[in-house]
Amino acid sequence: MGINVLLDKCTGCTLCIKACPFQAIEMKEVEGFPRKKAVIDLDKCTLCNACVASCKFTAIEIKAEKETSTDLFHYKGVWIFAEQREGKVQSVAYELLGEGKKLAADLKTDVSAVLCGGENIEEEVANLFAYGADKVYLLHHDELKDYKSLPYTRAVSELITKHKPEVFLLGATTMGRDLAARLAIRVGAGLTADCTGLAIDPEKKILQQTRPAFGGNIMATIIAPNNRPQMSTVRPKVFRKAEKQAGRKGELIKFNPILNPEDLVVKLIEILKDESVKVNLQEAEIIVSGGRGIGDAKNFTMINELAKVLGGAVGASRATVDAGWISAHHQVGQTGKTVAPKLYIACGISGKIQHLVGMQSSDIIVAINKDADAPIFKVATYGIVGDVHEFVPLLTRKLKEIRG
């Protein structure tokens, strides 16, 4: 990507200076022109587009610089971002490694993990090898101990520029979403957010990135043929971890990032955990979810009881969250959590696509619905056509009897 001021059109009106949030523009004398013109400091410019939008004279343009096929040929390998919190690699990284390995096999290349952190972070490297990383790029710096947008963006973008991966996957987490967008701009890559499926085009060998579009009513497959790396974010639990092979070895490549003073303007003072979030749906092995078919907020009691007897967590459809029957922490689906438990019991949930994208990778799905044509039955392993008010308490009672 590049940004240009078209000097013939620029009137020196200074609107762009006011619009630029990064103080990256100044009016300067330019040889051959009687008036001062806008000059952009490319070190400060983030290509945010604010100046382009503000210019009444269409005198500023941002252009994607199309790389030639020879340039693209230099990009090799599949990378995943190994997100860590408090020094522990998060499970989304292992899920990305599992999928990254398949993509790498189709591209006949290797899969690498990018791990940033402070003191003791090297202890996590062995796990990344065990879950399938052929290489680990270790970026060690005190300022990378906890996630901060600017130092992480600087460090990882420099690594990308140096080693040129053809595919880079990140978790669609708070951290991954922030970092991916910044990196994509910094390195001029195409980025597809919240993918639910990834594949390699067998002929063109490019990444096909599938994600819900138009409110989840269609699945769109997106490609980025002219830019590298091809970047995607993927929500936790969309893919499965590869089998862990303890003792598996790989290549460790240490990279010392050079951070500039402007990368260090944000100081992390304290991390406060949201203690109100008591449900960890994404880690639960059993989830019992209630939908509008349960009829009322108070009927979540029967969902809670079934979940309790099974030792599981309580999920919900958006309809019940929107109705105020249960908090949004429980919502499963496109705008809620993506889950993949061993057992998912859907009680009175119709199975609209926005709900299905959040739970269809569960190992066993049991659906209870009084409508035999409800779409949830298309993904269900076992379907019970019946009334939740009869079936759920009966099941809970029987399970209690069996468990004594």
Ligand X SMILES: Cc1cc2nc3c(=O)[nH]c(=O)nc-3n(C[C@H](O)[C@H](O)[C@H](O)COP(=O)(O)OP(=O)(O)OC[C@H]3O[C@@H](n4cnc5c(N)ncnc54)[C@H](O)[C@@H]3O)c2cc1C
Residues lying near ligand X in the complex (CB under 6 A) are found at 215-216, 291-293, 317-320, 331-336, 348-350, 352, 354-355, 358, 368-371, 374, 387-389
Q: Assess contact for 290 and 301: CB atoms under 8 A.
A: no
Min CB(212)–ligand X separation in Å: 8
* Amino acid, single-letter form, for residue 287: I
Min CB(325)–ligand X separation in Å: 10
Which residues are within 8 A (CB) of 336 and not within 5 positions of it... i.e. 6 or more apart?
Answer: 316, 318, 321, 328, 330, 358
Spatial separation of the C-alpha atoms in residues 156 and 153, rounded to whole Å: 5
* Amino acid, single-letter form, for residue 401: E
Query: Measured from the CB atom, is 10 or 368 closer to ligand X?
Result: 368
Min CB(127)–ligand X separation in Å: 31
342 labeled part of a ligand binding site: no
Return the structure tokens found at 275.
Answer: 């203690």
Tokens 């779409």 correspond to 375
Query: Measured from the CB atom, is 192 or 317 closer to ligand X?
Result: 317
Tokens 């989304």 correspond to 92
Give the bridge partners for 288, in sequence order. 314, 345
Query: Measured from the CB atom, is 84 or 361 closer to ligand X?
Result: 361
355 labeled part of a ligand binding site: yes
260 labeled part of a ligand binding site: no
Min CB(351)–ligand X separation in Å: 7
Query: Measured from the CB atom, is 96 or 356 closer to ligand X?
Result: 356
Q: Assess contact for 182 and 149: CB atoms under 8 A.
A: yes
Min CB(204)–ligand X separation in Å: 31
Spatial separation of the C-alpha atoms in residues 275 and 314, rounded to whole Å: 18
Pairing type for strands 197-200 and 88-89 reads unpaired
280 labeled part of a ligand binding site: no
404 labeled part of a ligand binding site: no
Query: Measured from the CB atom, is 68 or 214 closer to ligand X?
Result: 214
Annotated binding-site residue numbers for FAD: 292, 317-318, 331-335, 348-355, 369
Annotated binding-site residue numbers: 292, 317-318, 331-335, 348-355, 369
